[in-house]
Amino acid sequence: MTPEGTRVGVLFVCLGNICRSPLAKVVFEHHVRRAGLAERFRIDSCGTGGWHAGEGADPRSVKVAAERGLRLDHVARMLHHTDFVSFHYLIAMDRSNRTNMVTMGAPAERVHLIRAFDPRMVGKGERELEVPDPYYEGDDGFVKVYEMRDAACGGLLEAIRQEF
């Protein structure tokens, strides 16, 4: 899949880059570290909108991560067209983010909905493969989306491992 010595680039993308994608990033990093593959990956997150650029992650995402032993140290950034060259896997949290990436020039075959990698979601429709934005919800919404990402990130790592 990648030349020897090249790190596999995985980019998680949501709307503002303060809730869903930064949490997906640290969850995936956790799976990668646990598999002993940290040196083989380059992992980041960003948003398709820039209104939170430069801000930290939503405190509720930080809390959910911390409760699971994960450290979410994050500064939001906006998606840039150069990301489509730098990252092999462009992982969207929902269909809108996927559409935005493809419209900006991302190769459609490299843009995936995150829950498509969740083994429990095989055969589900695209609407069911979306991770809802918990921004306007309470803490329970953040816990739910964490659980969605945990299963999907494990499946994503397994799919990538099968390629190299």
Compute CA 147 distance to the chain's CA centroid, rounded to the nearest angstrom.
13
Average pLDDT over residues 40-67: 93
| Residue 20 among the catalytic residues | yes
The pLDDT score that the predictor gives to residue 107 is: 97
pLDDT of res. 50: 81
* For residue 76, pLDDT beyond 70: yes
Three-state DSSP class for residue 8: strand
Residue 58 confidence class, pLDDT cut points 50, 70, 90: very high
Give me the pLDDT at residue 6, please.
84
| Per-residue pLDDT reduced to its tens digit, 2-28 | 545 689 999 999 999 999 999 999 999
Catalytic-role residue among 133, 149, 150, 153: 133
Active site residue 19: no
Burial level of 14, CB count in 10 A (0-12/13-18/19+)? buried
Catalytic-role residue among 20, 60, 77, 98: 20
**What average pLDDT does the structure give for the chain?**
93
* The pLDDT of residue 158: 97
pLDDT at 1: 44
| Contact (Cβ atoms closer than 8 angstroms) between residue 78 and residue 46 | yes
118 is catalytic: no
Q: Give the residue-averaged pLDDT of 134-158.
A: 92
Q: pLDDT tens digit string along 99-143?
A: 999 999 999 999 999 999 999 999 999 999 999 999 888 888 999
Q: What is the pLDDT of residue 52?
A: 83
Domains annotated for the chain, with CATH where assigned, are: 8-163 (3.40.50.2300)
For residue 71, the SS3 value is: coil
Q: Which two three-digit tokens encode residue 44?
A: 């980041």
